[in-house]
Chains A and B, each alone.
Chain A
Amino acid sequence: MSSRSLKLSLLVGGALLMGACGDDDDTNLESLDQQLVVNFADNLVVPTYNLLATRMIELDAAAQALRNAPSTTTLKGAQDAWFAARVPWEQSESFLFGPVDSNGWDPAMDSWPVNRTDLDAVLGNNDTLSQQYVSNLQETQKGFHTTEYLLFGEGQVKKPEEFNARQFEYLLALTAELKAVSGNLAASWTTGVNGQAPYRDTLATAGESGNTAYPTVEAGAQEMLGGILVILDEVANGKIADPYDAKDANLVESQFALNSLSDFTNNMRSVENVYLGHRPETAQKGLSMSDVVKERDAALDTRVKAEIAAAIAALGKVPEPFPVSIKDPASADEIEGAQAAIRKLHDTFQVDVKAIILP
């Protein structure tokens, strides 16, 4: 959406507001353009979930290749496929609402920390490990991190000859389940699953009559803003704080592949993508949250972008590997610096951006 049409919508909203001022003290200001949520759904959420589904197909194929011919090459291929799948997933974590939440797919794919005792118990029993069986397991016995445990071992030390038939059976059931869940997740936004309407339509029609989920565009924008706030809080006060405060490496996400800081950084990219309205590899096509903020408070827009960059830069200063650095006093300043930068960004969204987007 062009800047001109944005101004037009603001003007229309403003005129409506002025007309209503005489008999209503409500301070509701300009209405948001529906293109904000349409663009968010079509140019960010759907492409991200489609990419995730594709990467899961590739991960499943790589796991099969590993099982069929275990070697350093095929193991690295499977590990690389796992790393690749993490990117769109972590970049989706600033919009963990809708089907991914209501259908329980988030915990089914990404619960952490995994319970290694339970995993070993599964590996040690004689049950047939099918996709259906894995689907029935506790959240902490399946998903990304159980797959990670099998592919990487503790601290990326897994060797191809260390896999036994049972581990391959478990691994392939896991990747099949991840492929199925991520496929359902993507479909839930595009075509609808379980007889429900595509969630893209639910969100993109925010403000239209009959939309009970999002009766106004502001309700849709509030969902977007809420998703950003949740992941910023989660990274600063959960993903980093829990293991760092407890000095407990077992609480570190992606501890087996030592991918934690990459995960956190992709969470920041996720926030950035929502704010800018597009994925990094594609150009902006329509109205973004940044456009709205810029229109109403250009200085704030500049500050938000700078704080996102600062949070990513602060994470980049934390020494690898994260499970080790949480216990190293020499890394404390960097870890706490990253937390501070993320919390600052969180507060900016919670107070300043919210005041602009949802006055």
Chain B
Amino acid sequence: MRPLFLMPSAARADEGRVGENEKDRVLTVGSKPKLDLSVNAYADLQFAYFNYGENQNRANGSQKDSRLVFDTTRLVLELEAGLPEYGLEAEFEVEFEHGGAGAAMELEYEEFGEFDTDVEKAGEALVEELYLTKKLGRDVEVSVGRFYVAVGTLFADYLPTSYLATIRSEAETRIIPNTWNDMGMQLRWDTPWGVRLTGQVVNGLDSTGFNSNTWVATGLQQRFELVRASDLAGVLRADVRRFEGFNFGVSAYYGGTTRNRPKPDLVKQCDDANPNMVAPCGYISAPLFIADVHLSVNRNRWRAHAMVMYGHLGNAAAVSARNARLSNLLNVLRTPVSDNALSAWGELGYDIAPWLGLDGNHRLEPYVRIDYMDSQFKPRAELFDNPRFERTVYTVGTSYTLAGLAVLKLDFSQRRMGSSVFRPENALRMSTGFVY
């Protein structure tokens, strides 16, 4: 292949990046159509100090401790290839988490209150995005494949340069999957009124992964080779983009979770059941509804994010009762899942680089962040509303960004539980990474 000329790549959900254009190539091979090629990557490294023990299930919360944790959090490689003449674009993204792929031992404190070692995928190689997009005119495109589910802020702002703090919002990643990606079809329309509408139909979550601690965040289907899509979910998202530097909108998710369980084990009983049929009397539905309001600001020297998310799981009692009897081999927490969850977070930073005489390639942003999450928000009467699962995290720190490509961040956070009985947890984190 021989590069002929440079040309900007097609627009992405997260928009163009600094330095991206230079890497774009448009190629022709013999008499074949022009190929528009772009390679991107981003990475995130974490160095953290914690003053508390790992076991949060102790009386009065986690014990005092002093420990350091280093993590090659993620390395993500992206490849975009397009056939501009045909309005086609393909993208894939592979994420390497925690430095590799394989099995790792984990100490699980939450479920049994005792040391319990589980083998689960820790270092992971994941295909997070793999989709084909067809442009239908200038403002409409349809995609098929695996893509980010259009809920919350991480749908668009997942790069280490996209948010201010050293880690993604705990409020968001504790109750829904982190950079939630599923398979299905997506339709996107940039309306003439400056509103981008996104509609998705995707495979739903698997309710065997739901639990007290992380609500539905661990319901992402990752344990089996095939993704079950017997219960589908629909997503609608509207983002107002007409005001420069402001992006705000709403999203809503609704879908079933029962028929994606590995076994048909959440079924109705009836007298005249047909023994030759799976679930002859039907399934006990456990529909999941999530809605959020989100805001992103990047104007002049200010940057901010904010989000409020509410979720409701139907028939959570039935899910919990069945999950309590799941096999150990499924490697899920078997604690009861709440009917409702609530989370909210916001961060605000201001660039002081100009005060220090630094040019436009530098951003130095002191910031504050607050995360609030309650994975047992107003549960059913027979479920104990444990204050351990209501958490507020206060963070202050500084982010330094060079040319929109490299970041170095330092922050201090304190996590407080829903009751003063539990000891606050302090963390000092440094992170560094790049986006290219």
* A contact set with B: CB distance below 8 Å: 101-105, 107-108, 111-118, 121-122, 125, 127-128, 130, 132-133, 135-141, 194, 238, 242, 250
Contact = CB atoms under 8 A, between A and B. Distances in A.
B113 A115 contact: yes
Interface stretch (B137-145, B188-196, B288-296, B321-329): B321-329
Contacts of B302: none
- Which 8 A/B pairs are nearest by Cβ-Cβ distance? A140-B113, A103-B325, A102-B327, A117-B59, A107-B112, A116-B59, A111-B112, A133-B382
Nearest to A122: B384
Nearest to B61: A117
A112 B60 CA distance: 16
Nearest to B323: A104
Contact of B334 (A104, A133, A238): A104
A138 B58 contact: no
Given A107-B334, A112-B113, A139-B111, 16 more contacts: A102-B328, A102-B329, A111-B114, A112-B114, A113-B113, A121-B386, A121-B387, A127-B384, A133-B384, A136-B320, A136-B383, A138-B212, A139-B334, A140-B112, A194-B325, A238-B114
Contact of A101 (B57, B58, B328): B328
B58 A238 contact: no
B356 interface: no
A150 to B, nearest CB: 15
Contacts of A139: 111-113, 334-335
Is chain B's binding surface mostly helix, strand, loop or mixed?
loop
Contacts of B336: 136-138
Contacts, number: 88
9 contacts: A102-B327, A104-B324, A113-B113, A117-B61, A121-B421, A136-B382, A138-B113, A138-B386, A140-B112
A114 B115 CA distance: 12
Nearest to A253: B114
Contacts of A101: 327-328
Given A112-B114, A115-B57, A138 B335 contact: yes
A191 to B, nearest CB: 17
Nearest to B113: A140
Nearest to A112: B114
Most chain A beta-carbon contacts within 10 A, residue among B212, B329, B381, B384:
B384
Contacts of B327: 101-102
A124 B212 CA distance: 20
Contact of B388 (A104, A118, A130, A135): A118
Interface in B43-81: 57-61
A156 B351 CA distance: 62
B155 interface: no
Interface string B367-408: 000000000000001111111100000000000000000000
